[in-house]
């Protein structure tokens, strides 16, 4: 396969020396000042990158220490915590469990007061667990608490006057209305929150939320070690696609790319619409993982079909891959590097993945 040469002179983006582009068969090419040369497959690149990382992070003359081995004289004093699976989960589960225990305790207290102690004047306190159940568990909680209240009153010895029945019906009406309102309010809050962090057209995360995730992942990599890889995709010839098929077809093309990204990415990866026809994928891992993922997504997108006026057509994307901290030292440098690599992929023929030259990656660190 013929590979276009990328000149190493000049100051434009297309003249960045020492860049690598992926051809249509998934192999990587180094594009330097003297043209392109094949450097191996993606799997070979990953193995070479792992060896380079081991040599780079090891000081001269030092021996590697297993990651699970503690330093002598500095044994950890933290005792392992014993967790009960039912009581330890997410914060939302723990909070709801506490609420259930409070409501159950209230019913038990009222049962003791009404049946065992014969305190007939305590029955108005039944409104508390009923309304509390409706507030946190909506209509289902209100109905369940009303059922428990009915069972409790049936077993109590005091006389059930019409006033008590009317009061309980009032409690039930208020509880059901409160539960309905709370459920509608929570759904509206979720919709507002989802709209504030997602793109309305594609359903992916938007630019603002993505930048927050990028800052968080870079801080995590800086504090705990590891790498963060950024992949930027751009739809090839998107302006010509819009001019030929119309903006509605262009929107369908963007949706097709978004659907493919969401389907093919890992659960730990964060996909977002960066702007226009550009998409980004944030990968908590090294650059080799980003290269493999970008190549796989590029091939999947090229196989997707976009509906156009009763028929369908195909689209392709170009991508640039850069990592932190091996390929960049700051967020701005990472974004600028991946943008340059995307431009190189465009200039090299499109429908390919571009990554930094190995010497250039090592020089940055």
CB 13 within 8 A of CB 42: no
Helices 42-56 and 287-303 cross at an angle (nearest 10°) of 160
Query: By C-alpha distance, which of 46, 41, 47 is closest to 22?
Result: 41
4: annotated active-site residue: no
Assigned token pair, 190 = 């979720």
Q: Which of 30, 217, 252, 277 is catalytic?
A: 277
Assigned token pair, 54 = 């081991």
CB 307 within 8 A of CB 252: yes
Q: What are phi and psi of 138, to 5 degrees?
A: 65, -150
Helices 238-245 and 247-264 cross at an angle (nearest 10°) of 130
Q: Which residues contact 194 (CB under 8 A, 6 or more apart)?
A: none
CB 290 within 8 A of CB 230: yes
Assigned token pair, 30 = 């180094």
Q: What are phi and psi of 30, to 5 degrees?
A: -90, 125
Distance CA 250, CA 15 (A): 30
> SS3 for 120?
helix
Residue the block writes with tokens 């992916």: 204
Query: By C-alpha distance, which of 268, 269, 277, 278 is closest to 239?
Result: 277
Q: Which residues are catalytic, by number?
A: 277
């Amino acid at each position: 396969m013929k590979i276009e040469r990328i000149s190493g002179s000049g100051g434009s983006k297309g003249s960045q020396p020492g860049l690598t582009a992926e051809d249509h068969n998934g192999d990587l090419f180094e594009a330097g000042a003297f043209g392109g040369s094949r450097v191996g497959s993606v799997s070979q690149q990953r193995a070479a990158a792992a060896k380079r990382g081991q040599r780079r992070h090891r000081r001269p003359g030092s021996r590697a220490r297993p990651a699970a081995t503690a330093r002598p004289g500095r044994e950890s004093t933290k005792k392992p915590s014993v967790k009960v699976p039912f009581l330890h989960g997410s914060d939302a589960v723990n909070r709801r469990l506490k609420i259930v225990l409070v409501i159950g305790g209230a019913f038990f207290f009222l049962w003791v007061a009404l049946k065992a102690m014969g305190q007939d004047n305590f029955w108005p306190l039944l409104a508390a667990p009923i309304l509390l159940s409706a507030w946190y568990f909506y209509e289902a909680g209100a109905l369940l608490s009303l059922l428990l209240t009915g069972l409790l009153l049936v077993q109590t010895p005091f006389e059930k006057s019409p006033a008590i029945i009317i009061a309980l019906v009032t409690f039930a009406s208020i509880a059901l209305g409160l539960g309905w309102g709370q459920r509608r309010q929570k759904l509206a809050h979720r919709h507002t929150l989802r709209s504030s962090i997602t793109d309305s057209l594609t359903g992916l995360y938007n630019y603002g939320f993505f930048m927050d995730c990028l800052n968080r992942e870079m801080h995590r990599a800086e504090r705990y070690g590891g790498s963060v890889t950024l992949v930027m995709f751009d739809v090839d010839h998107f302006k010509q696609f819009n001019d030929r098929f119309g903006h509605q077809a262009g929107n369908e093309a963007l949706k097709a790319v978004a659907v493919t990204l969401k389907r093919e990415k890992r659960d730990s990866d964060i996909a977002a619409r960066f702007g226009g026809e550009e998409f980004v994928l944030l990968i908590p891992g090294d650059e080799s993982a980003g290269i493999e993922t970008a190549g796989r997504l590029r091939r999947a997108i090229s196989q997707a079909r976009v509906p156009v006026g009763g028929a369908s057509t195909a689209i392709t994307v170009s991508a640039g891959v850069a990592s932190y901290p091996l390929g960049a030292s700051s967020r701005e440098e990472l974004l600028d590097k991946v943008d340059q690599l995307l431009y190189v992929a465009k200039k090299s023929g499109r429908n390919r993945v571009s990554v930094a030259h190995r010497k250039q990656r090592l020089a940055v660190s």
